């Protein structure tokens, strides 16, 4: 399942920059041993307090003092000393599903030079007249097509993944589909088998071939006569809605900026072994084949010979640190050890800036980059030297001060200042547009970057990624760049760098809508290489993370025979994400205190000594809790706890090995009709439609007691698409219709065919229609036309203050005792620093607490409640295979009217024999399960006690 920060989810919580006080226990922390198992039910604890500490240091200080059970951020280099404290549990290192990069604002000029230009794509067409010759038998003809891209000067398209289809007009039948005749060594020629003579329309699976069907150009139709072989050329465009495209300057400015960071030395200087460098906008754990060639740029720098770059746009691995050269003094003042580029890469960067349109002044000529680079050497400051002309303009650096991003931003600023003749904070670079010297910003101040509401050229950004490289579509496709790329206008942009690239759009869309995961990965690999080549970003690094929690939650220490603990699930070190903000769902569902645990040091008891409490620490503020406006990791974590989704992914799997469990459903399925046309306002009309069917559980209720039905699912899907929900819209952007077939059955139609379609829909948090329809507007003709102008689209609309934070998730928001309207479900449950005089709204800042309570009506709650739906389901699943099936029903039917030590259960029904209530209960839960469609042994790292009531700790 996708997690994103598909759309953008910026990782704004980064690293721990302080060390433990010497007064704490010096014994080594308990390190993770093997996997941390998970259970498909909970919550185990009854209360959850989330406290906003404002930043990393504040949160860590509280953790070090025993005030937090589970922080939301990984350890950094300086924080590794935390793993020597015996009060803590320290997870195993893991490469994260995340990446940090230099974002480039493609919307505004860079030192006066535009990075984009208008795109004008002529309509696709065959070249007429065609060439004919003999071939095939009477009544049948053959078609041979050469494919060319008219946006690349009619270059032959060499793409082994593309398919061409011919379909008889106007009926559409017969038809035929073929790939490039060269197979894995494509030639650009497509040879169709003999087919019934007639007029045929030609379409491409990857490129834009949409045009008219006529006898004159532009046309995509050709007449194939009986006994003929017809040869023609089809001119196609990139498959993109963009009205813009990268200019030559945009391509070369991106390449130049990439040369300014010496990645190998930067990683060693800042992270040691706790990060790896990246050359493409994908994380190593996503397993995307690297198609970008490091030597591709060698022809632009013939002086560098032999040309064997150490990484993408990085010729030589240097050892230049802050203060080691005369122009790197700001780096020395800000603790930058290594990462500056040396002479070769500085010359290459200068070359690329010249190709972008800049000129050298003070050198032998206007392209004398050799003297520019040589001037970088030595410790004695130069009063004059050859440098690039900044045209009296400035580069605005939206600088972030977290570990890694801080040093990255200083290196880029120092090097740009040097290259453009204003070394050592000389003001070519202005931090946040106002300061010549390094100046940071709070998270709330940096939100303007995401909204294109402040001037910036470069930004040290970070993405939280899914196991699949869908960020290349969700975060960089032109349709998510608002009206700047020709899409619909929005306030907060998913594609906030406004990168409008028809070539990337083509490959990213093909990856997003591929029917199989292997094919999808191949297209995303093309998209990643295209982005690197065309200056989309400067990919920098991916962290290797470790996380901390108080050891009193660590059930790995429960050993012995018989074990002192009922099972092992508690803290869940989620694959690629650990305990990161946005991914607390599984740990907060499973966490429970180790029986009899005594911390080595006083003050480090789990829950602060309260046996029913979990204390979660957030290191960044929250500005919206509305499902429509939640965007950051912390905001989305709150949404995930209060609302729940149709499906859940096994937290210990991802990528091609990902396992997805029916969560609020008992089954889901899909079929594809290649000839059915489906339309929506986002994508227009597309031929080929996926029809999905979702069967809901019958024991789901929202926290106000209202049953969750198909109407709620339909309203969620359509409103998230049409309002839209700024984070979740990408999950439903291909939805053409959603219909309630019954109270428990939903039909959702999707445009095209995608390997991600079902998991995307299953990831959406379901909201109650009866609460949100009066706010967002009603469904009219299959959409919500008033959604975009409703309060749901207003970032200031506050559902917490309105008391409508009601979902179907494992935790609920109840007004605390002692406040007005105490006990009201839906909030506010925010306790600001002004308490006890007030409760707060959705804006959560330093010192504010969010008080959540276990929702006992949650379908998978509660492991300690024999009156719960979970208990009844567990009882009905007598053979403990994770689902109530015909074997269970047959078993109880065979014992009807008889005494039975298992089926006769006073928690289900009174009496001494199996009765009608018992039989009805099994029938009600027939088809329901906890881990469907899997069996217990099929799920990776599942706790063997899949049933907390009738299954022993060692498994069933």
834 pLDDT higher than 80:
no
Asked if residue 875 belongs to a domain, the reply is yes
pLDDT at 20: 33
Residue from 880, 890, 854, 862 nearest 943 by CA? 880
Residue from 754, 721, 753 nearest 737 by CA? 721
Q: What is the CA radius of gyration of the chain?
A: 30
Asked if residue 845 belongs to a domain, the reply is no
pLDDT at 12: 36
pLDDT at 28: 57
27 pLDDT higher than 70:
no
Which residues touch 937 (CB under 8 Å, ≥6 apart)?
none
d(CA 349, CA 370): 11
pLDDT band at 482 (very low <50, low <70, confident <90, very high): confident
Listed as own residue / partner, the contacts of 167-176 with beta carbons closer than 8 Å and 24 or more positions apart are 167/200, 167/201, 167/203, 168/196, 168/198, 168/199, 168/200, 169/198, 169/199, 169/200, 169/201, 169/213, 169/221, 172/675
Q: Are 646 and 766 within 8 A, CB to CB?
A: yes
pLDDT band at 558 (very low <50, low <70, confident <90, very high): confident
The parent domain of residue 582 ranges over 30-93+546-620
Beta-carbon count within 10 A of 253 CB: 29
13 pLDDT higher than 60:
no
**Residues linked to residue 685 through DSSP beta bridges, in sequence order:** 679
Which residue has better confidence, 507 or 8?
507
pLDDT mean across residues, the chain: 92
Residue with tokens 């099929």: 938
| Shared-domain flag, residues 509 and 658 | no
| Shared-domain flag, residues 361 and 504 | yes
Question: What is the rounded average pLDDT of the residues 379-402?
Answer: 96
d(CA 764, CA 627): 10
Task: Provide the token pair at 61.
Answer: 């200080």
Task: Provide the token pair at 892.
Answer: 């109880």
Domain boundary among 474, 508, 543: 543
584 pLDDT higher than 50:
yes
pLDDT band at 636 (very low <50, low <70, confident <90, very high): very high
**Lowest mean pLDDT segment, chosen from 19-23, 44-48, 399-403, 575-579:** 19-23
Beta-carbon count within 10 A of 17 CB: 17
| Shared-domain flag, residues 260 and 195 | no
Residue with tokens 């996503």: 286
d(CA 328, CA 320): 9
Question: What is the rounded average pLDDT of the residues 890-897?
Answer: 97
Question: What is the rounded average pLDDT of the residues 648-661?
Answer: 91
pLDDT band at 607 (very low <50, low <70, confident <90, very high): very high
pLDDT at 10: 37
Question: What is the rounded average pLDDT of the residues 387-400?
Answer: 97
| Shared-domain flag, residues 571 and 699 | no
DSSP 139-174: TEEEEEEEEEEGGGTTEEP--TT-EEEEEETTT--S
Asked if residue 828 belongs to a domain, the reply is no
pLDDT band at 557 (very low <50, low <70, confident <90, very high): confident
4 pLDDT higher than 60:
no
Question: What is the rounded average pLDDT of the residues 355-382?
Answer: 97
Asked if residue 517 belongs to a domain, the reply is yes
**Lowest mean pLDDT segment, chosen from 263-277, 402-416, 446-460, 846-860:** 446-460
pLDDT at 398: 95
Q: Are 524 and 518 within 8 A, CB to CB?
A: no
| Shared-domain flag, residues 539 and 554 | no
pLDDT band at 700 (very low <50, low <70, confident <90, very high): very high
Q: Are 746 and 625 within 8 A, CB to CB?
A: no
pLDDT at 17: 31
Residue from 805, 700, 816, 680 nearest 752 by CA? 680
pLDDT tens digit sequence for 520-550? 999 999 999 999 999 999 999 999 999 999 9
pLDDT at 835: 60
| Shared-domain flag, residues 329 and 363 | yes
pLDDT at 334: 96
Residue from 425, 399, 266 nearest 340 by CA? 266
DSSP 464-485: E--SS-THHHHTTSGGGSGGGG
pLDDT band at 82 (very low <50, low <70, confident <90, very high): low
Q: What percent of the chain is predicted at pLDDT more than 90?
A: 84
Q: Taken in order 108, 114, 115, 120, is the CA torsion positive or negative?
A: positive
Q: What CATH number should be reported for the domain holding residue 911?
A: 1.10.1330.10
pLDDT at 819: 87
pLDDT at 6: 34
pLDDT tens digit sequence for 87-106? 999 999 989 999 999 999 99
| Shared-domain flag, residues 374 and 501 | yes
Question: What is the rounded average pLDDT of the residues 262-289?
Answer: 95
> Coil, strand, or helix at residue 586?
helix
> Coil, strand, or helix at residue 95?
strand
359 pLDDT higher than 80:
yes
Which residues touch 906 (CB under 8 Å, ≥6 apart)?
none
| Shared-domain flag, residues 431 and 474 | yes
Task: State the total domains in the chain.
Answer: 5
pLDDT at 862: 94
**Lowest mean pLDDT segment, chosen from 391-395, 683-687, 824-828, 844-848:** 683-687
| Shared-domain flag, residues 557 and 538 | no
Which region, left, alpha or beta, applies to residue 486 given φ > 0 means left and ψ of -120 to 50 means alpha? left
pLDDT band at 837 (very low <50, low <70, confident <90, very high): low
pLDDT at 902: 96
Cis peptide before 933 (omega within 30 of 0): yes
d(CA 876, CA 926): 8
pLDDT at 34: 74
pLDDT band at 11 (very low <50, low <70, confident <90, very high): very low
Domain boundary among 807, 834, 856: 807
Please measure the distance between the N-terminal and C-terminal CA atoms of the chain and give it in whole angstroms.
28
HSE at residue 333, side-chain half, CA atoms within 13 A, is 11
Q: What CATH number should be reported for the domain holding residue 477?
A: 3.10.105.10
d(CA 483, CA 474): 16
Residue with tokens 């990782």: 11
In this structure, the dihedral spanned by the alpha carbons of residues 885, 889, 892 and 895, taken in order and rounded to 10 degrees, is -130
Which residues touch 214 (CB under 8 Å, ≥6 apart)?
221
Q: Are 398 and 442 within 8 A, CB to CB?
A: no
Task: Provide the token pair at 444.
Answer: 């709330």
Q: Taken in order 353, 355, 361, 363, is the CA torsion positive or negative?
A: positive
Residue from 733, 759, 603, 745 nearest 681 by CA? 733
pLDDT band at 934 (very low <50, low <70, confident <90, very high): very high
Residue 597 exposed, middle or buried by CB count within 10 Å (0-12, 13-18, 19+):
middle
Q: What CATH number should be reported for the domain holding residue 799?
A: 3.90.76.10
pLDDT at 561: 52
Domain boundary among 518, 543, 568: 543
Which DSSP symbol is given to 761?
H
Question: What is the rounded average pLDDT of the residues 477-483?
Answer: 90
Which region, left, alpha or beta, applies to residue 784 given φ > 0 means left and ψ of -120 to 50 means alpha? beta
Cis peptide before 536 (omega within 30 of 0): no
pLDDT at 18: 31
Question: What is the rounded average pLDDT of the residues 396-425?
Answer: 96
pLDDT tens digit sequence for 742-793? 999 999 999 999 999 999 999 999 999 999 999 999 999 999 999 999 999 9
Which DSSP symbol is given to 613?
E
Asked if residue 120 belongs to a domain, the reply is no
Question: What is the rounded average pLDDT of the residues 219-237?
Answer: 97
Asked if residue 745 belongs to a domain, the reply is yes
| Shared-domain flag, residues 52 and 153 | no
| Shared-domain flag, residues 405 and 386 | yes
Asked if residue 829 belongs to a domain, the reply is no
**Lowest mean pLDDT segment, chosen from 58-62, 345-349, 531-535:** 58-62
> Coil, strand, or helix at residue 923?
helix
pLDDT at 85: 87
pLDDT at 29: 63
Asked if residue 392 belongs to a domain, the reply is yes
pLDDT at 625: 96
HSE at residue 748, side-chain half, CA atoms within 13 A, is 30
- Counting every residue written for the chain, the total comes to 956
| Shared-domain flag, residues 106 and 212 | no
pLDDT tens digit sequence for 502-514? 999 999 999 999 9
């Amino acid at each position: 399942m996708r997690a994103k920060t598909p759309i953008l989810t910026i990782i704004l919580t980064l690293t721990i920059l302080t060390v433990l006080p010497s007064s704490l226990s010096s014994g080594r922390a308990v390190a993770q041993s093997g996997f941390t198992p998970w259970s498909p039910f909970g919550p185990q604890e009854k209360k959850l307090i989330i406290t906003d500490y404002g930043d990393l240091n504040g949160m860590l200080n509280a953790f070090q003092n025993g005030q937090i059970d589970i922080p939301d951020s990984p350890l950094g280099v300086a924080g590794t000393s935390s793993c020597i404290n015996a009060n803590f549990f320290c997870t195993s290192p893991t490469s994260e599903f995340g990446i940090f990069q230099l974002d480039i604002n493609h919307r505004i000029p860079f030192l006066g030079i535009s990075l984009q230009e208008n795109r004008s794509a002529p309509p696709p067409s065959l070249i007429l007249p065609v060439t004919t010759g003999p071939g095939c038998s009477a009544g049948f003809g053959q078609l041979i097509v050469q494919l060319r891209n008219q946006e690349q000067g009619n270059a032959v398209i060499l793409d082994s993944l593309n398919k061409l289809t011919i379909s008889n007009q106007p009926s559409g039948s017969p038809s035929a589909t073929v790939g490039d005749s060269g197979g894995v060594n494509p030639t650009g020629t497509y040879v169709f088998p003999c087919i019934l003579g007639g007029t045929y329309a030609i379409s491409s699976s990857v490129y834009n071939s949409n045009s008219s069907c006529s006898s004159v150009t532009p046309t995509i139709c050709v007449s194939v006569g009986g006994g003929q072989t017809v040869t023609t050329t089809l001119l196609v465009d990139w498959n993109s809605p963009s009205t813009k495209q990268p200019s030559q300057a945009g391509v070369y400015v991106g390449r130049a900026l990439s040369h300014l960071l010496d990645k190998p030395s930067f990683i060693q200087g800042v992270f040691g072994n706790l990060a790896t460098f990246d050359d493409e906008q994908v994380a190593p754990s996503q397993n995307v084949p690297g198609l970008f060639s490091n030597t591709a740029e060698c022809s632009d720098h013939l002086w560098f010979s032999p040309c064997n770059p150490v990484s993408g746009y990085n010729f030589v691995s240097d050892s230049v640190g802050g203060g080691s050269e005369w122009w790197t003094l700001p780096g020395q003042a800000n603790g930058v050890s290594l990462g500056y580029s040396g002479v070769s890469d500085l010359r290459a960067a200068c070359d690329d800036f010249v190709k972008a349109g800049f000129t050298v002044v003070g050198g032998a000529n206007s392209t004398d980059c050799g003297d520019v680079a040589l001037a970088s050497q030595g410790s004695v400051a130069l009063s004059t030297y050859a440098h690039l002309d900044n045209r009296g303009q400035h580069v605005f650096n939206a600088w972030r001060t977290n570990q890694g991003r801080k040093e990255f931003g200083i290196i880029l600023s120092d090097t740009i200042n040097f290259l453009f003749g204003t070394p050592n904070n000389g003001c070519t670079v202005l931090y946040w547009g106002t300061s010549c010297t390094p100046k940071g910003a709070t998270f709330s101040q940096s939100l303007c970057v995401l909204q294109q509401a402040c001037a910036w050229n470069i930004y040290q950004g970070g993405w939280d990624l899914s196991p699949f490289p869908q960020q290349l579509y969700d975060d960089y496709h032109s349709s998510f760049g608002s009206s700047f790329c020709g899409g619909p206008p929005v306030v907060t942009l998913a594609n906030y760098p406004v990168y409008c690239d028809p070539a990337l759009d083509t490959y990213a869309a093909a990856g997003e809508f591929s029917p199989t995961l292997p094919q999808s990965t191949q297209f995303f690999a093309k998209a990643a290489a295209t982005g690197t080549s065309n200056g989309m970003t400067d990919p920098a690094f991916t962290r290797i993370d470790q996380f901390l929690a108080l050891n009193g939650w660590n059930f790995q220490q429960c050993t012995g025979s018989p074990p002192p603990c009922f099972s092992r699930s508690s803290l869940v070190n989620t694959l690629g994400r650990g305990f990161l903000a946005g991914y607390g769902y599984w740990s907060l569902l499973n966490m429970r205190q180790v029986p009899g645990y005594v911390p080595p040091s006083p003050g480090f008891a789990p829950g602060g000594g309260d046996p029913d409490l979990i204390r979660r620490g957030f290191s960044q503020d929250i500005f919206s809790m509305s499902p429509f406006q939640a965007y950051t990791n912390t905001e989305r974590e709150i949404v995930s706890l209060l609302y729940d989704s149709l499906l859940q992914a096994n937290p210990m799997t991802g990528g091609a090995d990902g396992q997805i469990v029916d969560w609020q459903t008992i089954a889901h399925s899909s079929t594809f009709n290649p000839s059915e046309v489906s339309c929506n306002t986002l994508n227009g009309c597309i031929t080929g439609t996926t029809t999905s069917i979702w069967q809901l559980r019958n024991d789901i209720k929202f926290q106000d007691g209202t049953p969750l039905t198909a109407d709620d699912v339909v309203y969620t899907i359509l409103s998230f698409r049409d309002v839209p929900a700024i984070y979740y819209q990408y999950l439903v952007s291909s939805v053409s219709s959603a219909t309630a077939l019954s109270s428990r059955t939903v039909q959702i139609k999707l445009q095209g065919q995608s390997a991600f379609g079902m998991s995307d829909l299953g990831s959406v948090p379901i909201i109650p229609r009866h609460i949100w329809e009066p706010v967002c507007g009603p469904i009219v003709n299959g959409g919500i036309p008033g959604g975009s102008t409703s309060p749901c689209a207003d970032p200031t609309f506050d559902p917490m203050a309105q008391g409508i934070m009601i979902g179907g998730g494992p935790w609920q928001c109840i007004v605390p005792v002692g406040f007005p309207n105490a006990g009201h479900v839906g909030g506010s449950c925010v306790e600001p620093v002004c308490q006890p005089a007030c409760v707060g709204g959705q804006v959560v800042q330093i010192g504010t607490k969010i008080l959540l309570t276990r929702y006992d009506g949650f379908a998978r709650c509660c492991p300690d409640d024999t009156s719960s739906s979970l208990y009844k389901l567990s009882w009905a699943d007598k053979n403990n295979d994770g689902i109530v099936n015909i074997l269970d029903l047959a078993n109880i039917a065979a014992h009807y009217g008889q005494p039975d030590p298992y089926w006769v259960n006073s928690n289900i029904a009174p009496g001494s024999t199996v009765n009608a209530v018992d039989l009805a209960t099994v029938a009600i839960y027939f088809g329901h399960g906890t881990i469907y469609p899997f069996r217990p042994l099929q799920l990776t790292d599942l706790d063997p006690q899949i049933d907390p009531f009738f299954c022993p700790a060692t498994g069933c």
